[in-house]
Amino acid sequence: MMTLRTPLPGQYMCPTLVCDLPNEAATAELATLIARYLLAGDLLRLEGDLGAGKSTFCRYLLQALGHKGDVPSPTYTLVQLYDTTPRVPVAHVDCYRLKTPEELDGLGLEHYRQHGVIVAEWPDKGGALLAAEQPDYLHYHIQEMNNPGVLTVALEAGSTEGSRVATLRGSRSWQRRFGLMFDAVRRPRDPAAQQAFLDRLGLNDATVENLGGDWSFRSYWRVRLANGETRMLMDAPAPMEGVKEFAEVAAFYISQGLRAPREYGRDEEAGYLLLEDFGNRALANVKGDEARAWYGVAVDVLCHLCRTPPRPGGRTFTPRDWWIDAARFTDWYMPMVRGHATSVAERSHYMDLWQAQFAAFETIPQGTMPWDYQATNMLLLGDEPSITHFGLIDIQDAKQTPIVTDLAILLRDIRRPRNDAMEQAMLARAAASLELAPEMLAHTLDIASLHHCSRILGGLARIYVRDGKAAGPKRFIPRTWDVAHQSYANPALAEIVAFMQEWEQPGLARMAEAA
């Protein structure tokens, strides 16, 4: 069994980890673990002297990805392609005999660098394409978003015969993934540590009640003070999660006249944030005319954000974000359905189709949108429907983006029944408020909604394939396809619909069979 040399206590963002591998089985264990978290667009660099075990590591990695058969060394051919592994296309490169990096030109590796995985032995000879110091695909990291990066695994002989030592050096994306891979890197959920955080804030007499979590690694706890007041404790364990972004977005929203939870204290390194408690009355729990009135307020909030300046230092939704969200469909859903990886050519084609749609958003008003804008994340703080009574939570992923991205989540929510009358009324309200043509808003809503469906379907497939959880995918994959159908009639989306539709019924059949 491999052994991780435990990081220093409290050191959760670790650029370098060291693993002791006492035998070949431990090498296979590490390769299998890394394979589980590989993403299309990743570069995996293998360093080490001759005989250090790089080729052995490659063999186990490809077997873990589902390759059947031999794994020949590409020392003389330079590259060996594996396009039909169940998860992701792989280009295995051996640069040992390279005299110049230019010898790699013309081998098509640039396409694998973007749409597959490159596994490179002797990568320092490969030039800029295989360099360790390359930025992640996105400059920030959200745990639920694919964000390709660079991982270097340096292998060397260990202190006993047959043993090895593996040193892992990861980009920030991989440092976040280390928390998924190794318990010792992940900050544990610890009631004593929670209480110590509260004690530092002078709340040593408070009691704490678990309210559960969401699809992320965050959990929420109601803190009852001795004077009868309550607070909300966000437990966002590092390195997968964090609290800084939530706190900064909340402060920005408050400065713009909106209701977000006030902050009472934080520990950014560990991931604790004490907030104002907005209670339990969510928009998801109201019905009829009352719901229609509050949905109107939800639309007003988005329109209000379109009139405010961008958040200083905040995220901006770019074509890269646009693509990486849509790519979940090719990276997780399609392989789940058909049992082998989406090809580099298919993934590239899907990207081109979606990037062509991004231009439609250029004329749509933008603002710092909450992003996960669904009825469960909107808390009602008074009886009168108004912006001042409308509480926003789950806002840590907010970004400067066109209003229709969040309108699509609000009005075509996979957790709520379809309501065409509500959708039309809310679109008319937004169009009037922003002085837009209703037809343009409806057109871009179709685009944003289908884009969200691509993202959600891939995310649900990832939960099923990687994490072994069937309940959520079985429940929500059929409903997500129902939402996708609402965009099918838009002629601008015909090619994307044709691409996606091929995998609908096989995916539904797979879910029907899921345990």
β-pair partners for 480: none
Dist. CA 154–CA 175, nearest whole Å: 16
The token pair at 138 is 């996105």
Nearest CA-CA partner of 64 in 125, 119, 124, 136: 119
pTM listed for this prediction: 0.93
For 38, left (φ over 0), alpha (ψ -120 to 50), or beta? beta
pLDDT of residue 142: 74
3-class SS of residue 145: coil
Cis-peptide into 72, omega within 30 deg: no
Question: Which residue type does 38 have?
Answer: L
Q: List the one residue out of 182, 142, 137 whose CA is nearest residue 39.
A: 137
**What are the structural domains, with CATH classification, of the chain?**
3-181 (3.40.50.300), 191-276 (3.30.200.20), 310-370+400-513 (3.90.1200.10)
The DSSP H or E segment spanning 91 is strand 90-94
Report the SS3 class of residue 316: strand
The pair of structure tokens assigned to 117 is: 């995985």
Helical segments of 49-108, H only = 54-64
Tokens of 266: 């934080």
Phi, psi (deg, nearest 5) at residue 417: -65, 155
pLDDT score, position 14: 85
Residues 6+ apart with CB under 8 A from 326: 350, 351, 354, 451, 454, 455
Task: Of 333, 320, 233, give the one whose Cα is nearest residue 275.
Answer: 233
Angle ∠(371,375,379) on CA atoms, nearest 5: 100
Q: How is residue 467 written in tokens?
A: 């994490």
Give ∠ CA 129-127-152 in degrees, rounded to 5.
70
As given in the structure block, the two tokens for residue 102 are: 């230019």
The predicted structure's pLDDT at residue 141: 77
pLDDT of residue 129: 96
Which pair of tokens denotes residue 505?
């019924």
Classify the C-alpha dihedral 139-144-145-146 as positive or negative. Answer: positive
- Comparing CA positions, the residue from 298, 314, 317, 310 lying closest to residue 433 is 298
Q: Could you state, in chain order, the average pLDDT of each consecutive group of 10 residues for the chain (515 residues)?
A: 80 88 97 96 97 93 92 88 89 94 91 95 96 93 83 95 95 92 88 94 93 78 95 92 94 98 95 96 95 98 97 93 95 94 95 95 94 95 96 96 97 95 97 96 98 96 92 96 98 98 94 85
- Per DSSP, 13 falls in state S
Q: Quote the CA–CA distance of 155 and 31 in Å, as a whole number.
A: 12
Q: What is the pLDDT of residue 7?
A: 75
Token pair recorded at residue 347: 């993934």
User: What pairing do the DSSP bridges indicate for beta strands 90-94 and 207-213?
Assistant: unpaired
213, two tokens: 């979590």
